[in-house]
Structure 1
Amino acid sequence: MMNRTLTGKPSVDRPWMQYYPTEMVEGLRVPESTVCEYLKEQCPGESVVAMHYYGTDITWHEVYEQVDKTARALRAIGFGEGDEIPVFLRAVPEFMYLLLAAEQIGASLLCRDNTIEENVAAVKKSGAKMIFAHDFLSHKNFNAYRTGAGIRGAVLLSPLHSANRMKIPDYCWNYLDSLYTSHPAYGPCTISWDEFLKLGEDFEGVVAAPRDINRPLFRAYTSGSTGPSKQVIHSAYTMLAIVQQMNFYGASSQFRPTWLMTHLTPALVAVVVSMLLMPLASNKLLILSPFVDVNDVDLELMRYCPNCWPHIPMFIELVMRNGRVPDDYDLSHLISAGAGCEAYNNIQLKRAQKFLDDHNCHVRYTTGYGCSEAGSNMTLPMTAQPIGNGNVGVPLPLTDISVFKPGTDKELTYNTVGEICQCGPGTMLGYDDPVATAKVIKLHSDGRRWLHTGDIGYMTEDGTIYTLTRGCATRYGGGELATLPMENRLADAEIEGIDDEFFVITEDPEHHHCFVPYLFVVLNDGYTVDDIKDAVAACLEDYMQPVDIIVLPERPFFHYKTNRIGLREDIRNGTFDKN
């Protein structure tokens, strides 16, 4: 560790910079470019394959050509500068064409992947008269957009449009078949993607809007897993700020890495910024496989043998749980491995690391940290500290992260628990609600805009961030209920019979503004709560003791995260027997 004098203020000391090679960060700046300009600057050559989609190789030349056609067609159907374009597509090549075409005409993509009622409400608020969706959109839902949001029509895209049908495996065909209803959207108010492009050929007006890297370009909604879903707005500048700080991730000087994208939807900021734009901007071959059932991601992993596979805890848990990866399967093709999206406790980390080691992949399994409001990733696992106990790495090189007294601008010193806040060029423009924006982006006394994440954690003297829980939750009688440290106490005890465990914190019905913990466990065959409850009690402080221990057959997920919000509702509604 380099010698340095610490002031006690991480935002001033920036101790994490010791881990970044000087040649890597010297002169590093956020590019004053549009997304398309940036991709062209980084492009290894127009004849090089940019994306692979079910047997079809798409070169950079074809990408640029399709973007121009898409921009002209968007103008032809009435979209222009400042408009919001509702897009309900999976991670298909046409999504990328729409994003870059929207930038060209000065519009923004609006993406949401929630209930039909929430999606309709988002379209209505946008004022858009056309939507983009896959042709498996049901006629019932299409009519919901027409009557509820006032749209006049839809551009419908077949998932097979850019694919080679002969190269689609059976399990993907099965998943595709499951998406279609007996009554898909139809009629004179719908047009195909090819008909849409054809309209653009006859458009004779101005296509390109004045260049503006700070106008809204991408609008997505938070998952709603920790509270009401909110629309997050990003520009070319805020998105490229993250891409520029990460575009060396998963790199190799000896070969061109492959980057596999499975299942995750571009309705998520992290997907668009860190999982689509970043590999495209860093000379990786982007392999798109959005039409694979989440339970079959292990089959795509073995089919493509990618060097990089961005995934989430849900995915790696399913790969291990399915049991279809042979014991002698060689996973050494992965040059990086780690999960983002939500906290990963020590028992999960140990299980994932053992799985990699048992399959000849000896890279360190890490966890990441970020949020939609920060433009995706806020940290990278460039730290000498052991992984676990909430270690999510160090801040990106152009990003400041520090810990503050919750709800204030009082910066705390090292190893002091408080609210994790971020200040950097990737911070969102805001929510679509100024009042909600003001609650999370605050002007501090240092004159800078800080994003208050609501996450609780601390930073060590070397700049490593440790996340502990979401929000403050005090138990009656004293004690802060931090989920991850509580889970890790049980994980480190290696209690016989427990295969997986996690806590859900909910309101104390008997004490206002106080909370109580419930422990959910997945047990090994033959074990009951009676077999583990004494060992659980011995691991926890008095204020950490769960109100009840509830057995589940497996960890449940909602919108890619552990479904704590659903379980919390079950507790409130009395679904579980808490006697």
Structure 2
Amino acid sequence: MSQVLTGKPSVDKPWMQYYPEQLIKNLKVPNSTIGEYLAAACPGKDVTAIHYYGKDITWAQIETEVNRVAKALKAVGFGVGDQIPMFLRSVPEFIYLLLAAERIGASLLCRDNTIEENVEAVKKANAKVIIAHDFLSQCDLNAYRNEAGVQQIVLLKPLRSGDRSSMPDYCKDALNDLYTDYPAYGPTTISWDEFIELGDAYTGEVDAPRDIKRPLFRAYTSGSTGPSKQVIHSACTMLGAIQQMNFYGDSSEFRPTWLVTILPPVLVAVVVSMLLLPLSSNKLLIMDPFVDVKDIDLEMMRYRPNCWPLIPMFIEIIMRNGRIPDDYDMSHLFSAGAGCEAYNNNQLKRAQKFLNDHNCNARFTIGYGCSEAGSNIGLPMSAQPLGDGNVGIPMPLTTISIFKPGTEEELTYNEMGEICQCGPATMIGYDSKSATEEAIKIHSDGTRWLHTGDIGYMTEDGTLYALTRGKAPRFNGGDLATLPMENRLADANIEGIDDEFFVIMPDPNHHRCFLPYLFVVLDKGYTVDDVREQILDCLEEYMHPVKIIQLPERPFFHFKTNRIGLAHDIEAGKFGEFE
């Protein structure tokens, strides 16, 4: 690279060498609402935009439904600045609600945690109407009424827009399992169709003054690494992410299919990168929310999608279920990769081998991002080999640099510190002012930086390496970075270890210090004693786990490795005395 480096990534932006000059010159975030952005991308009103269980939904139908839903929302009392609590899966009606909320100047509030947490979110929103599926239980309905003051609940049948007869039996079973013996009923409930009829009769104003920076989408972080927080995005910030990814996922030769299984629209990445992105880049969006996670391999083989957003949990299930025939051809997948959480070298090698063994020529890539940054932060366009925490390069309108944790001191290349981001996709903030000020800091030069809390470094060519969540020093020296520690084990190819990962715990005897616990999934016939010595040999002494714990398989929570659950188990003494 001919550029003379200053040593500051935020100044040099060495990753820009990978982007075409014409793209750099012309790319900017449009001054558009999401509705306007999708309308501009529409390939034709009669073209199918969404396929949903045997039914094709055209762009004209979406427009009609959005108009009706916007009027219905006004009819039940929602208006500018209101929060609309919504507890739906990834069904077409979610898209209608999001675009309708934008029309009336409101925001969607999405959460799928415990009923207590959901009720608390509705109570804080001061909402009197909520929208849910008709498998909501009467017990949960009463909680919303009695504890959050909800006066009306709109109940949507999951297959209002689909055809049950087109579903395979395992999808029907997954849907049936969501219903309880006592589903919600009573005078506080109305059906979706009744809700729409109220809108059809509404004659007042519908459209709010246009404001692309107004809150539009409120989602909660998963809580996998700590208490979940409400993240607030606008049309502007959501398009700030979509516009930077659109060129990367575009196709002009033919129209790819894009499958979304299970993942709910309570996650920023799902809404921005998995639902709105394909709609805005002329892909056929296949919505498939009602399938048990253990059966996603069957759905992949049924739909044979060109694009299928994966997460580590999904690819692990596909590889381990054993139901994909050895001669199954996966060449229908044009891209493959995993976001959501860190992916170690062992996982990466196993996933790539699985794809290659099934005639998929795509390079398995690793995504990186967070809800606070509007989903993706980077793209896998680096010339550097994947692995060792390589998560690609910053998106073209995004600046990423590394700072000394807790400061605004920017570090140079190959120095480990906190990964920070600034760009058009950064959230408006959390619903807590103090939490927002902790995450988003205005540096002395006036730049608005999102401090992610992730630890990593950047190389001179702009490649970003994300290594661990938060700084975790060990007493007597050494920083515990989970991914490099896992990669040491992965690269050692220890016989008998199928999978491994660390959980970092506070040291009960030393303030602000931490201890590593290693969890392993072993091949049949192996025990921890068989692999203990090799594990210790390939780790530096400060990395040595205080315990090595065998599990039958990697556990997941909210689609991520359930480290927080295992941490609670460690504290509770499930694996022996907490040291």
Shorter-chain TM-score above 0.5 = yes
Deviations 1:360-403 (A, max 9, x none): 00111010100000000000000111010000000000000000
Shift of 1:23: 2.2
2-side partners of 1:154 and 1:70: how far apart? 15
2-side partners of 1:131 and 1:252: how far apart? 38
Deviations 1:75-107 (A, max 9, x none): 000100100000000000000000000000000
Deviations 1:233-262 (A, max 9, x none): 000000001000001333333211110000
2-side partners of 1:466 and 1:193: how far apart? 47
Identity %: 71
Determine the structure 2 residue equivalent to 1:281: 280
Q: Give yes or no for the alignment of 1:488 onto 2:487.
A: yes
1-side partners of 2:122 and 2:300: how far apart? 35
Q: Aligned-residue CA RMSD in angstroms?
A: 0.8
Shift of 1:66: 0.4
1-side partners of 2:183 and 2:124: how far apart? 25
2-side partners of 1:524 and 1:107: how far apart? 53
Q: Give yes or no for the alignment of 1:204 onto 2:203.
A: yes
Does the aligned pair in 2 maintain the 1:250–1:308 contact within 8 Å? no
2-side partners of 1:331 and 1:138: how far apart? 40
Determine the structure 2 residue equivalent to 1:188: 187
**Which runs of structure 2 are paired with 1:286-305 in the superposition (5 Å)?**
286-305=285-304
SS of aligned partner of 1:574:
coil
Determine the structure 2 residue equivalent to 1:386: 385
SS of aligned partner of 1:131:
strand
Determine the structure 1 residue equivalent to 2:407: 408
Q: Which residue identity does 1:150 align to in structure 2?
A: G
SS of aligned partner of 1:81:
coil
SS of aligned partner of 1:328:
coil
Q: Which residue identity does 2:181 align to in structure 1?
A: S
Determine the structure 2 residue equivalent to 1:110: 109
Shift of 1:576: 0.5
**Structure 2 unaligned spans of 5+:** none
Deviations 1:386-428 (A, max 9, x none): 0100000000000000000001110000000000000001000
Does the aligned pair in 2 maintain the 1:250–1:335 contact within 8 Å? no
Q: Which residue identity does 2:221 align to in structure 1?
A: T
Does the aligned pair in 2 maintain the 1:136–1:181 contact within 8 Å? yes
Q: Which residue identity does 2:174 align to in structure 1?
A: Y
Q: Which residue identity does 2:378 align to in structure 1?
A: T
Does the aligned pair in 1 maintain the 2:249–2:281 contact within 8 Å? no
**Which runs of structure 2 are paired with 1:148-163 in the superposition (5 Å)?**
148-163=147-162
2-side partners of 1:86 and 1:347: how far apart? 41
Does the aligned pair in 2 maintain the 1:222–1:232 contact within 8 Å? yes
2-side partners of 1:434 and 1:513: how far apart? 26
Determine the structure 2 residue equivalent to 1:42: 41
Q: Which residue identity does 1:156 align to in structure 2?
A: L
1-side partners of 2:148 and 2:24: how far apart? 47
Does the aligned pair in 2 maintain the 1:110–1:219 contact within 8 Å? yes
Does the aligned pair in 1 maintain the 2:388–2:465 contact within 8 Å? yes
2-side partners of 1:201 and 1:361: how far apart? 49
Determine the structure 1 residue equivalent to 2:561: 562
Does the aligned pair in 2 maintain the 1:251–1:257 contact within 8 Å? no
Does the aligned pair in 1 maintain the 2:29–2:240 contact within 8 Å? yes
SS of aligned partner of 2:218:
strand
Shift of 1:25: 2.7
Does the aligned pair in 2 maintain the 1:259–1:309 contact within 8 Å? yes
Q: Which residue identity does 2:168 align to in structure 1?
A: P
1-side partners of 2:4 and 2:41: how far apart? 38
Determine the structure 1 residue equivalent to 2:445: 446
Does the aligned pair in 1 maintain the 2:164–2:172 contact within 8 Å? no
SS of aligned partner of 1:425:
coil
2-side partners of 1:512 and 1:340: how far apart? 33
Determine the structure 2 residue equivalent to 1:17: 16
Determine the structure 2 residue equivalent to 1:250: 249
1-side partners of 2:329 and 2:24: how far apart? 35
Q: Which residue identity does 1:215 align to in structure 2?
A: R
**Which runs of structure 2 are paired with 1:365-384 in the superposition (5 Å)?**
365-384=364-383
Does the aligned pair in 1 maintain the 2:138–2:182 contact within 8 Å? yes
2-side partners of 1:562 and 1:265: how far apart? 17
**Which runs of structure 2 are paired with 1:22-421 in the superposition (5 Å)?**
22-421=21-420
2-side partners of 1:42 and 1:254: how far apart? 16
Deviations 1:460-515 (A, max 9, x none): 00111001100011101000000000000000000000000000000111111111
Q: Which residue identity does 1:344 align to in structure 2?
A: Y
SS of aligned partner of 1:26:
helix
Does the aligned pair in 2 maintain the 1:250–1:336 contact within 8 Å? no
1-side partners of 2:84 and 2:41: how far apart? 27
2-side partners of 1:81 and 1:359: how far apart? 51
Shift of 1:108: 0.2
Does the aligned pair in 2 maintain the 1:414–1:458 contact within 8 Å? yes
Does the aligned pair in 2 maintain the 1:250–1:257 contact within 8 Å? no
Q: Which residue identity does 2:470 align to in structure 1?
A: G
Deviations 1:407-460 (A, max 9, x none): 111000000000000000100000001011000100112211000000000000
Q: Which residue identity does 1:359 align to in structure 2?
A: H
Determine the structure 2 residue equivalent to 1:514: 513
1-side partners of 2:304 and 2:250: how far apart? 16
In the superposition, the TM-score normalised over structure 1's length comes to 0.99
Q: Which residue identity does 1:286 align to in structure 2?
A: L
Does the aligned pair in 2 maintain the 1:400–1:423 contact within 8 Å? yes
SS of aligned partner of 2:249:
coil
Deviations 1:545-573 (A, max 9, x none): 00010000000001111000011111111
Q: Which residue identity does 2:261 align to in structure 1?
A: T
Shift of 1:164: 1.3
SS of aligned partner of 2:258:
strand
Determine the structure 2 residue equivalent to 1:472: 471
SS of aligned partner of 2:515:
strand
SS of aligned partner of 2:131:
strand
